[in-house]
Chains A and B, each alone.
Chain A
Amino acid sequence: KNEVEQSPQNLTAQEGEFITINCSYSVGISALHWLQQHPGGGIVSLFMLSSGKKKHGRLIATINIQEKHSSLHITASHPRDSAVYICAAPYGGSQGNLIFGKGTKLSVKP
């Protein structure tokens, strides 16, 4: 069992829809990362959060440390949001290395 689980694996939405991607983890962590990977490989760090909620533009990330669960929301989705979204947790509680989920492939149709 992967220590970081994401759902759904694939997600297709219409432009303008509100999108939620979920991440559950079994390791004890102090913070969780949300990353975006476009075709071709480049990864962009979206958020690192340890409690509560963070917002950047149309992206919102929430985390509940006690429940070991985090969500990434995209409001008013757009085709350019199409990418793979990955959550990652630091292994062993330190920031030494990251354990990645398998990613959620999002496709937003115009």
Chain B
Amino acid sequence: DAGVTQSPTHLIKTRGQQVTLRCSPKSGHDTVSWYQQALGQGPQFIFQYYEEEERQRGNFPDRFSGHQFPNYSSELNVNALLLGDSALYLCASSLGGLLAKNIQYFGAGTRLSVL
């Protein structure tokens, strides 16, 4: 039973480019949350997807967008990349949307470097 998988593991982009990160949730999970972790900081919540819709959003600009597919996998898109977008992007999956009390399972993350 695969856990949460993210791709790619590492990515290098230049300022102004666009990037797409992918996440496959743990088998049986229907909710995907995305987090940004800057170096030396705790993760910051970006948004959460449930039933193919964005259900909650953190304090991130519209350059950050996402999508959830019918198979519950998810993508995080970042447009017009800035140097400050360099971070580890973590995906977490859980069951049951906003009110779930189930634990979140995290992927290994995608390390994005913007040059």
Contact = CB atoms under 8 A, between A and B. Distances in A.
Contacts, number: 69
A106 B113 CA distance: 26
Interface residues on A, range: 20 to 34
Given A43-B90, A86-B42, A97-B45, A30 B108 contact: no
A43 B55 contact: no
Interface string A23-41: 0000000110101000011
Nearest to B42: A100
Contacts of B90: 41, 43
B48 A102 contact: no
A43 B106 contact: yes
Interface stretch (B12-20, B70-78, B93-101): B93-101
Contacts of A91: 45
